Structure 1
Amino acid sequence: MGNRVIIAVPAVNLVLWLVFLPDDDGTRTNFARQVTGEFVGSTMVLLFATSLLLATRARWLEPHFGGLDKMYRAHKRAGLAGFLLIAVHFALVPLNTAAVKPGTPAGMIAGVGIFVLVLLTVAPRIPVARRFALTYDRWRSSHRFIGVFFIVALAHSLLVDALVTTTVVPLAVLIAAYAIGILSYLYTLLLARFFRRTRRYVVQSVRRLNGTTVEVGLRPRKKKRMAFTAGQFLFVRFKSRGALRRSHPFTISSSPKEEVLRLTIKASGDFTRQLYESLAEGTRATLVGCYGMFDYKRGGPRQIWVAGGIGVTPFLSWIRDLDHEDPLRHRVDFFYTVRHPADAVFLEEIEDVARRHPNLRAHIVYSSRGGSLTAEKIAAASGGLSGADVYMCGPSKMTATLARRFRRIGVPSASIHYEEFNFR
């Protein structure tokens, strides 16, 4: 439902501007052009306010998007849509060079600032811009300034001679959007840490499973453990030097019933590389969460689980939880694909659990030997996909490709579930 609301925002705003059209006093030679430009600008503000609201990680919003990972995807899409409207707004609103209003410089600063920060966000996905991409840690620090430029945009709206001030309803909506966006930004920046569910842990063990993957065992510093559902993720920061001091999301790979909370992490960026190389036992950690609605128990009796690389973590949590629950009631084919045998972590444990639970069949796929895993191969190995719910976690390119192919061979979109762990 949440995504539908976001899609409806520009349409509803357009209706309001058409019904409550600003007054034309006859003194503006480009009235239609300015009305269009201001409508685009107000829509841009609504989208950025939505993006800032979603960035709060508000728990009451999560069910409407199907999990925090989907909320972040909606956050990015709303921000990107607003980003694309910046240039349209500047192109449409006529600039009177003979009498520049006080708000004009503020608008230029806000527009250029937001444009640059969003461009840095999408840079890793644009081949020609990848060399300008920031590390995750630096990007995260710079990304916080979007709220500052949003406040500067409010100054722009207040100080220019805008037509929207002559029509009550669009003006009220615009003011409400600014209020929601600014309050959301200030909450995220200053207050969220006091309201989010936080637990204090300490690193009990650090097991390096291969050349890139490490399992971190955490035990609570007090008796109260972090409550979570198998397959959820949390944010963790360590009392250490450098990047480890910053909060970072990881899916929990242990069962909720275990005394020690386990995270299985692959070194793929500055934070994770430093964690792999230098995290030591005894380091204190602060955990925030938990989040996510990736839960096979909500699905039907026939299921397909697909893990790609480190995307195995939520499935590890599900599998490890089996020994603490009743026997698996669903009939599951679990496909775990990695490039080389050395990349497969906890393989013996997975196969051992599958032997003890007849309803769970494990399929280990090495792409270097037999090629990439495809929807057709999954259908053939599992005996067909009719009536099956599909759960996927792995690289975004893999999950997107498989989801597209699953739909083409008849799996309904409502039966395809996945978790995204790319928060950039």
Structure 2
Amino acid sequence: MTLLAGIIGLLLLAWGWDITTTGTGAGTLPWVVREQGLYLSGLLSIATMSLAMVLATRPVALERPLGGMDRIYRVHKWSGILAGIFALAHWLIEMSDDLIKSLAGRAGRPPKVEFHGLLDTLRDAGEELGEFAIYVLLAMLVLTLVRRFPYKFWRLLHRIMPALYLLLAFHAAVLTPLEYWSQPVGWLLAVLLAGGSVAAVLSLTGRIGRERLSHGTITAVSSPTPDITEVTCLLDKQWHGHRAGQFAFVCFDRLEGAHPFTIASADRGDRTVTFQIKALGDYTRGLARHIAPGQSVRVEGPYGRFELQRCDPRSEQIWIAGGIGITPFLAWLDALRADPASAPAADLHYCTRDAARDPFVGRLEALCAEIPGITLHVHDSSRNEALSAGRLATLHRGARQAEVWFCGPRGFAEQLRHGLQRTWPGRLRFHQEAFEMR
């Protein structure tokens, strides 16, 4: 989120610099506040929307500085939400003129700048298109925040965002005060508009992720439990392998689109990947009935930095998985099985609701038996053995420097993180897979 805060901070500084150097213009205080509020809210809205558009292109170059594609998507999500909030503020400020007239009167309103010719025509068009686009953007914001709205419909609506962005970019470009373009605020805005517009065109032409797209065939489908589907795929030569712990966007049905799933197998050099898919929605709940061996599949990736190679050998390793969050650790263990002697000393904590019926428990026990450095702990909620921060601190009492790698429900992660901050006696780093498409 540092990138998002930095963009907003830079824009505020640039806007403040413009006010300091050129002033706020003529007019009484209520009208000046309205005018500057209109400019600032518009700048913040298009800036955060531009950032969201750029991040939607899945820029691999930013994975290292931002911590992985999961965090890039988290910044993308909040950039989009803030863009909608700033757009709402922009619209409300625009609609406030009648209120200010009734409270402070028309006198003191800054004089309207007159334009002629082509620029006047463009400004009129930009105003009308911007008003329409803002209404659509606000509707999208509401649907994004209402989690009960089906994802498959939200995804289809979300595909209009690049076109919507271009309308709003045109609105911003033609209605921005002319003096801005000779100031840092205008230069920053120009960079953001250019980046966002290029990203929108890439999206509209279907070029996002094309360089990392592989086609393949489903070779096996099974259901270890009613709510888990295991899918193995053989990909073409476009697939250049993956690192244990990474994920990919998988498309089984063109109408449904691609979904992100963690790769649950190590890279063996044969272009085979396995996914463990939890039934979390309408699509994944009926997935096993709609796919079969021999069916084609598209896989885009790999992405992510939840990688075994990033473990710090100087820190005690504590790996925690909740439910289907075990998938990256299955890939880790699968990779370590090829060279058990190279495995770090680590404690793997697997949290399950019912160990007796959980198919992963037996698999984990078999894998860990082959890797002497890994100690498996199974926490069975049905037997009141739920994992807590206090229990972790007790189990690892002697560790002064530790590293936690967590994959599982977000609420569980926050509970453990906050609890460990209070109870852990030494230095602790907490890594968490934070991927959310919506």
Paired residue for 1:338? 352
8 Å CA contact 1:49–1:178 kept in 2: the answer is yes
Mapped to 1, the partners of 2:304 and 2:38 lie a distance apart of: 39
Say whether residues 1:254 and 2:265 are aligned partners: yes
Q: Amino acid of the residue matched to residue 64 of structure 2?
A: P
Mapped to 2, the partners of 1:9 and 1:136 lie a distance apart of: 29
8 Å CA contact 1:309–1:343 kept in 2: the answer is no
Distance 1:290 1:31, change over 3 A: same
Residues 185-226 of structure 1: per-residue CA shift (max 9 Å, x gap): 221231425742122221111111011111111123x46654
Distance 1:194 1:50, change over 3 A: closer
Structure 1 residue 115 displacement after superposition: 1.6
Distance 1:107 1:68, change over 3 A: same
Which residue, 334, 338, 347 being the options, matches 1:324?
338
Does 260-269 or 25-34 show the bigger shift?
Answer: 25-34
Paired residue for 2:161? 146
Mapped to 2, the partners of 1:279 and 1:342 lie a distance apart of: 28
Does 294-303 or 68-77 show the bigger shift?
Answer: 294-303
Structure 1 residue 27 displacement after superposition: 6.8
Paired residue for 1:127? none
Q: Amino acid of the residue matched to residue 208 of structure 1?
A: S
Mapped to 1, the partners of 2:190 and 2:425 lie a distance apart of: 44
Paired residue for 2:84? 83
Mapped to 1, the partners of 2:58 and 2:426 lie a distance apart of: 29
Aligned length: 409
Mapped to 1, the partners of 2:209 and 2:365 lie a distance apart of: 43
Which residue, 248, 260, 272 being the options, matches 1:234?
248
Paired residue for 2:26? 26
Question: Which of these two proteins has the greater Rg computed from alpha carbons?
Answer: 2
Q: Name structure 1 gaps, 5 residues minimum.
A: 125-129
Which residue, 280, 284, 295 being the options, matches 1:268?
280
TM-score by length of 1: 0.88
Q: Amino acid of the residue matched to residue 16 of structure 2?
A: L
Say whether residues 1:286 and 2:325 are aligned partners: no
In structure 2, the residue corresponding to 1:253 is in which secondary structure?
coil
Mapped to 2, the partners of 1:16 and 1:400 lie a distance apart of: 36
Mapped to 2, the partners of 1:50 and 1:422 lie a distance apart of: 17
Residues 124-154 of structure 1: per-residue CA shift (max 9 Å, x gap): 1xxxxx4xx2x22211111122222222223
Say whether residues 1:387 and 2:401 are aligned partners: yes
Say whether residues 1:310 and 2:314 are aligned partners: no
Distance 1:120 1:343, change over 3 A: farther
Say whether residues 1:219 and 2:234 are aligned partners: yes
Distance 1:230 1:223, change over 3 A: same
Does 378-387 or 308-317 show the bigger shift?
Answer: 378-387
TM-score by length of 2: 0.85
Paired residue for 1:36? 37
Residues 21-67 of structure 1: per-residue CA shift (max 9 Å, x gap): 35656378823431232022102211110111111001111111110
8 Å CA contact 1:212–1:276 kept in 2: the answer is no
Which residue, 415, 418, 423 being the options, matches 2:429?
415
Paired residue for 1:48? 49
Alignment of 1:38-187 (within 5 A): 38-93=39-94, 103-124=126-147, 130=148, 133=149, 135-158=150-173, 160=175, 162-163=176-177, 165=179, 168-169=182-183, 170-187=185-202
Structure 1 residue 328 displacement after superposition: 4.2
Does 361-370 or 308-317 show the bigger shift?
Answer: 361-370
Paired residue for 1:17? 15
Paired residue for 1:372? 386
Q: Name structure 2 gaps, 5 residues minimum.
A: 99-105, 107-111, 113-122
Paired residue for 2:116? none
Say whether residues 1:210 and 2:234 are aligned partners: no
Mapped to 2, the partners of 1:333 and 1:307 lie a distance apart of: 11
Distance 1:270 1:36, change over 3 A: same
In structure 1, the residue corresponding to 2:276 is in which secondary structure?
strand
Mapped to 1, the partners of 2:377 and 2:154 lie a distance apart of: 38
Structure 1 residue 4 displacement after superposition: 2.4
Structure 1 residue 298 displacement after superposition: 1.8
Q: Amino acid of the residue matched to residue 420 of structure 1?
A: A
Distance 1:410 1:224, change over 3 A: same
Paired residue for 1:358? 372
In structure 2, the residue corresponding to 1:281 is in which secondary structure?
coil
Let me know the Cα RMSD of the aligned residues: 2.7
Mapped to 1, the partners of 2:160 and 2:210 lie a distance apart of: 22
Identical-residue share of aligned pairs (%): 27
Mapped to 1, the partners of 2:24 and 2:400 lie a distance apart of: 61
8 Å CA contact 2:400–2:426 kept in 1: the answer is no
Distance 1:279 1:177, change over 3 A: same
Structure 1 residue 76 displacement after superposition: 1.1
Mapped to 2, the partners of 1:338 and 1:7 lie a distance apart of: 37
Paired residue for 1:297? 309
Distance 1:273 1:92, change over 3 A: same
Mapped to 1, the partners of 2:34 and 2:2 lie a distance apart of: 29
Mapped to 2, the partners of 1:75 and 1:228 lie a distance apart of: 24
In structure 2, the residue corresponding to 1:415 is in which secondary structure?
strand
Mapped to 2, the partners of 1:123 and 1:14 lie a distance apart of: 30
8 Å CA contact 1:354–1:360 kept in 2: the answer is yes
Structure 1 residue 173 displacement after superposition: 2.5
Mapped to 1, the partners of 2:46 and 2:156 lie a distance apart of: 22
Distance 1:76 1:342, change over 3 A: farther
Structure 1 residue 388 displacement after superposition: 1.3
Paired residue for 1:396? 410
Distance 1:350 1:342, change over 3 A: same
Paired residue for 1:192? 207
In structure 1, the residue corresponding to 2:292 is in which secondary structure?
coil
8 Å CA contact 1:109–1:149 kept in 2: the answer is no
Structure 1 residue 262 displacement after superposition: 0.8
Structure 1 residue 166 displacement after superposition: 5.2
